[in-house]
């Protein structure tokens, strides 16, 4: 499987800045087909992503969604609206939304159902609040995902992306989790997904202070299918370097020495 590497810009970049970001990114990732890239701008710039990414292999999506398809929900955006904008991915349950808007696992489950209903792929964020060993992390993630995935059938599970994002590793001033920690949690999560009734393996990516220096080790770790990048991707050159780290992993695993980063 090609590594899946994406970014959420969170509440950053205006539409004009987004246009410049794509203008700087695209030449830097030209010819990079060994990994799958996606970009989640704020809702106001999804149309810019569509303009700039249509016809490329890079997909785009949204950072949140309302569970209903339409209605009196001031300020919200529905899965129908996102599908109409050509979104492939929709992020749900990010820890910033869980804490700022008190989002529950039940609400996140309803959002996941909406995303799947509209033919898109949910990226479900999960993570422990404080640093604890992987054996203590897994029950926390399983309790949360047990609720969120309740209504997701085996076929749809394969369309789900789980972003393992320890909360203590996210944002300014935080350090990324070690590759060993991420590998142990992601492998355990993969086993747990397969062990559930009708279980299937979802794509599992890691997020939390990922940068171009730490990306390669995490990408090399068995059980990790990709990366979810926050603040370091606001610089398109740095995001491109992280993406090329994914390509380097692929060439190592498939045809050694056939590909190199620019
Ligand atoms: P960060 O954000 O890379 O800035 O830590 C990651 C995330 O919240 O997904």
Average confidence (pLDDT) per 10 residues, the chain, 262 residues: 96 98 98 96 98 97 98 98 98 97 97 98 98 98 96 92 98 96 98 91 97 96 97 98 90 55 44
Looking at residue 255, its pLDDT comes to 52
56 touches 37 (CB < 8 A): no
Phi, psi angles (nearest 5°) of residue 174: -90, 160
User: pLDDT by residue (tens digit) across 158-188?
Assistant: 999 999 999 999 999 999 999 999 999 999 9
Q: Which atom of ligand 1 is the closest one to the Cα of 8?
A: 9
Question: What DSSP string runs through 94-145?
Answer: -HHHHHHS---HHHHHHHHHHHHHTT-EEEEEE--SS---HHHHHHHHHHHH
Ligand 1 pocket test: which of 171, 182, 215, 235 has the largest number of ligand atoms within 8 Å of its C-beta? 171
The token pair at 70 is 């339409």
> Rounded CA gap, 213 and 190, in Å?
25
193 touches 199 (CB < 8 A): yes
Asked, for residue 247, whether it belongs to a domain, the answer is yes
For residue 29, how many other CB atoms are within 10 A of its CB?
A: 21
The catalytically annotated residue of 36, 94, 103, 181 is 94
Asked, for residue 261, whether it belongs to a domain, the answer is no
Number of domains in the chain: 1
Asked, for residue 163, whether it belongs to a domain, the answer is yes
Asked, for residue 239, whether it belongs to a domain, the answer is yes
9 touches 41 (CB < 8 A): yes
Residues whose CB falls within 8 Å of the CB of residue 132, separated by 6 or more in sequence, listed in order? none
- Contacts by residues 14-21 (CB-CB < 8 Å, ≥ 24 positions apart): 14/44, 14/45, 15/44, 15/45, 15/47, 15/48, 18/45, 18/48, 18/49, 19/48, 19/51, 19/52, 21/234, 21/236
Question: What DSSP string runs through 77-98?
Answer: -BHHHHHHTT--EEEE--HHHH
Domain with 233, as residue range(s), is: 4-254
Looking at residue 249, its pLDDT comes to 81
Phi, psi angles (nearest 5°) of residue 179: -60, -35
Looking at residue 254, its pLDDT comes to 67
Asked, for residue 204, whether it belongs to a domain, the answer is yes
User: pLDDT by residue (tens digit) across 45-83?
Assistant: 999 999 999 999 999 999 999 999 999 999 999 999 999
Q: What is the pTM of this model?
A: 0.95
CB of 164 closer than 6 angstroms to any ligand 1 atom: no
The CATH number given to whatever domain includes residue 217 is 3.20.20.70
Respond yes or no: is residue 165 known to be catalytic.
Answer: yes
211 touches 232 (CB < 8 A): yes
> Rounded CA gap, 16 and 188, in Å?
42
The token pair at 142 is 């399983």
Looking at residue 10, its pLDDT comes to 98
Looking at residue 199, its pLDDT comes to 84
Looking at residue 248, its pLDDT comes to 85
Ligand 1 pocket test: which of 210, 212, 238, 239 has the largest number of ligand atoms within 8 Å of its C-beta? 210
């Amino acid at each position: 499987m090609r590594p899946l590497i994406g970014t959420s810009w969170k509440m950053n970049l205006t539409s004009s800045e987004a246009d410049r970001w794509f203008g700087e990114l695209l030449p830097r990732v030209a010819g990079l087909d060994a990994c799958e890239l996606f970009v989640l701008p704020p809702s106001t710039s999804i149309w810019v992503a569509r303009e700039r990414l249509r016809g490329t292999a890079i997909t785009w999506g949204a950072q949140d969604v309302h569970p209903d398809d339409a209605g009196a929900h001031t300020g919200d955006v529905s899965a129908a609206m996102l599908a109409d904008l050509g979104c492939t991915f929709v992020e749900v349950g990010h820890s910033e939304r869980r804490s700022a808007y008190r989002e529950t696992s039940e609400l996140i489950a309803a959002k996941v159902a909406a995303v799947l209903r509209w033919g898109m792929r949910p990226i479900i964020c999960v993570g422990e609040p404080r640093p604890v060993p992987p054996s203590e992390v897994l029950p926390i993630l399983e309790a949360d995902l047990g609720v969120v995935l309740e209504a997701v059938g085996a076929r749809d599970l394969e369309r789900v992306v789980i972003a393992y994002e320890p909360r203590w590793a996210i944002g300014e001033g935080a350090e990324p989790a070690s590759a060993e920690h991420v590998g142990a949690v992601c492998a355990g999560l993969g086993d747990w997904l397969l062990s559930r009734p009708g279980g299937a393996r979802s794509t599992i990516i890691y997020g939390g202070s990922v940068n171009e220096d730490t990306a390669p080790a995490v990408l090399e770790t068995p059980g990790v299918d990709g990366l979810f990048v926050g603040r370091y991707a606001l610089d398109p050159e740095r995001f491109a370097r992280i993406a090329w780290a994914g390509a380097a992993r692929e060439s190592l695993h498939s045809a050694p020495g056939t590909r190199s980063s620019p």
